[in-house]
Structure 1
């Protein structure tokens, strides 16, 4: 969930194995690796906007590496499997 919108949902093993939403991917890349001492963690670029700031379209687009003009419109809900769903134009 990002800014009150479900970005991706499904069985944990499916989402962890093949995340589809850029926010989910960013979160997964931010997880520390076991045994990787002092290795810098991945950081999602930008900062989280104020909850009082209205954002049209994709709520993550200001921070997304894939963002394009189409992201100003609400992203569709897509299926990545029988019980795996995500929102993204790409």
Structure 2
């Protein structure tokens, strides 16, 4: 029996990677923010990342459908698939 999976893992929409709460990320490579929630939600199946954006260009304040996942100013919270997160911005000139 082999225990512990280090190496090839299936990467899909539900893959959290090794992101952690409090880590600085970019949503879609263009919206800087900080991870505040990682895990399952009530509003959709699978794994989601809740991010507090630097600017009020999000969708919520950390609550969706009456369920609070984290706290932040209005419109600075956004939920996205972890696969949409990057650790650095992707500018137009990135190859």
- Shorter-chain TM-score range: under 0.3
Higher strand share: 2
- Give the TM-score normalised by structure 1: 0.24
Specify which structure has the bigger relative contact order, considering alpha-carbon pairs within 8 angstroms and separated by 6 or more residues: 1
Higher helix share: 1
